[in-house]
A and B are shown apart, each in its own frame.
Chain A
Amino acid sequence: MNRSLGTTTAKGRQISHVPNYVILTVLLVFSLGPLLVMAFNSLKSRTDVADNPLGLPRNFVWSNYREAWDVGNFSTTMVNSGILVAATVIGVLLLGGMAAYSLAKLDLPGAGALMLFLLVVSSLPIHLFLVPLFVLWRELGLLNTVFGLVLIYIALNAPLAIFLLRSYMIQLPRDFEDAARVDGAGEWQIFSRIVVPLSWPGFLTVGLVVALAVWNEFLLATVFLQDESKFTVVTSYQNFATRFSRDWSLTSAAAVIMIVPIVAIFLTFQRRFIEGMTQGGTKG
């Protein structure tokens, strides 16, 4: 990383970084303070949260979590969200990876037109095609089905995945593929045995970014999965938090339950997340 010289010095002159740390700490409190308050409140009793909405809990009411888990129906919604995420990630990586391979390595005739198409498609607002899509899905019997929503998620996430994976695959040396082609390997074998294993970091990055997007997605999940038994963590929390909006300790506990997996995975893979999202921001 091309960072300038640590905490001090430029040709002998000392530059204090104390003001940097002071202001950054203020920003840190702004960003994480609300989350800390939420974590504290998730452990308070109802009277405690009313008297003292901002401070530490007087005693730790761990049973809030048990209650939030049951009332929020997390044992169902976690599974629903997990299936949606897994199916979408597999679909995007497989189909997007194939398309990226074709664009990066196979001299696809009409590649420029396809890239343009994907760029246009990925920048169309959802609200433009939401209503006809809803009606089409109703006619096709895909409404209220996991498969139907996964198809939509694949379509919307694939362009970004293709751009990122393509730029990754283009950098791979051609030697291995050429050798395999000489040996008579088919393109599918080259793709699955050579290119995918070599570009796995790209796949991991895209998979993480897509997983996060699907886990957090609100609008489409609300519109396309209206059956309560199919609710995702997010749509179910929306109902739950609206119904119990006065019960701050319970809604906080439920929120903590749903963001702990995200934050844990984010912290573990933060470099890849940030790489994927920032590239998504600049290349999408």
Chain B
Amino acid sequence: MSETAIQVRPGLEVRRRRWNRASYRRKVIPWLFVLPVLLINLLVVLGPTLAAVYYSMTDWSGIGAADFVGLANYRQLFFEDDSFKTAFVHNLMWMAMFLTVPIAMGLLGASLLAPIKRGALFFRMALFIPYVLPSVVVAHLWSSLIHPDRGVVGWLNERGVSGMDVAFLGRESTVLPTIAFIDNWRWWGFLMVLFLAGMQNIPPDLYEAARLDGANRWQEFRDVTLPGIRPILVFMILMTGIWSFLTFDLIWIITQGGPAGASEVLSVLVFKNAFQNFEAGYAAALGITMSLFVGFILSIFVVLRRRGWEI
């Protein structure tokens, strides 16, 4: 920005005595076009992010003055706060689940859908629909469906199906996998459509060649399809790693982290500390720690790429 500011005032430099229309047009106008969006982003994202770095080193409550406390928040976070450790482990479990189940389902759906013609558009659209629904609808729909007295679970229980007399969202051992299941319900269709787009770009000759070599369905999938969609697959694995640290909506809406913290993840902790416990400084430290994990995952990706992995 500073360089344009200098160029707007040409009289300051003798050498640049001739301020002509052409260079105004070349250098200033392009910046005028990006300026509004840039200013809004500075105000909404960058400014508050820098403020968060500062507040993470204070005991700020969110209102009034903040005392500088150095790294005390981080010390408390890493060495004293058990809820942080629990939430972090939950994030890892969430990541493990999202790196496997939805990716497998997306690959399965896409590889079944890629070769067919009749009804392909219908299936693609229908399987994508859950992804466009708002979290609140997904959350309340599934909370009702798996409610032990009503819904599918209650219905199965009445008919004597074993293991269905359970409040899946009310027990510490089942709550997190259950919400992950619900989140996956709306998520995997999105992955499927992404993978499908990748598979449709694989040249059909490769499949023909594989079939001439006598490859069966599995070999075709392993040797033609997977390598063919590798860029998008790797990219989605990366994004899944990142998003699994940021997941919030469904968990917050369904359980708010309960029962007894059994579904608490980092984002829920930030929200609780900021808006319920009024520990804004501590919440900022949590938010920064979360972002550092995300940065860590991204940097693994970048390092692997630098080392020549084709990802």
Contact = CB atoms under 8 A, between A and B. Distances in A.
Interface of A: 1-7, 10-11, 13, 15, 17, 19-21, 23-24, 27-28, 30-32, 34-35, 37-38, 49-50, 53-54, 95-96, 98-99, 101-103, 106-110, 114, 117-118, 121, 123-136, 151-152, 154-156, 158-159, 162, 187, 191, 212, 215-216, 218-219, 223, 233-234, 237-238, 241, 245, 248, 251-252, 255, 258-259, 262-263, 266-267, 270, 273-274, 277-278, 281-282
A132 B141 CA distance: 34
A98 B34 contact: yes
A237 B136 CA distance: 7
A24 B112 contact: yes
A92 B123 CA distance: 32
A136 B54 CA distance: 14
Nearest to B133: A259
Contacts of B112: 19-20, 23-24
A102 B132 contact: no
B163 interface: no
B166 interface: no
Nearest to A216: B134
19 contacts: A2-B201, A3-B204, A7-B117, A15-B211, A17-B116, A21-B119, A31-B127, A34-B141, A50-B150, A95-B36, A99-B37, A106-B29, A107-B26, A124-B45, A131-B62, A136-B51, A237-B137, A262-B132, A281-B190
B41 A158 contact: yes
Q: Which among A4, A28, A218 has the highest number of chain B CB atoms within 10 Å?
A: A4
Contacts of B52: 128-129, 131-132
3 closest A-B pairs (Cβ-Cβ)? A155-B44, A102-B33, A129-B48
Contacts of A96: 37
Interface stretch (B12-20, B68-76, B89-97, B280-288): B280-288
A248 B150 contact: yes
A84 B152 CA distance: 36
Given A23-B108, A124-B291, A274-B193, A251 B140 contact: yes
B311 interface: no
Contacts of B140: 237, 241, 245, 251, 255
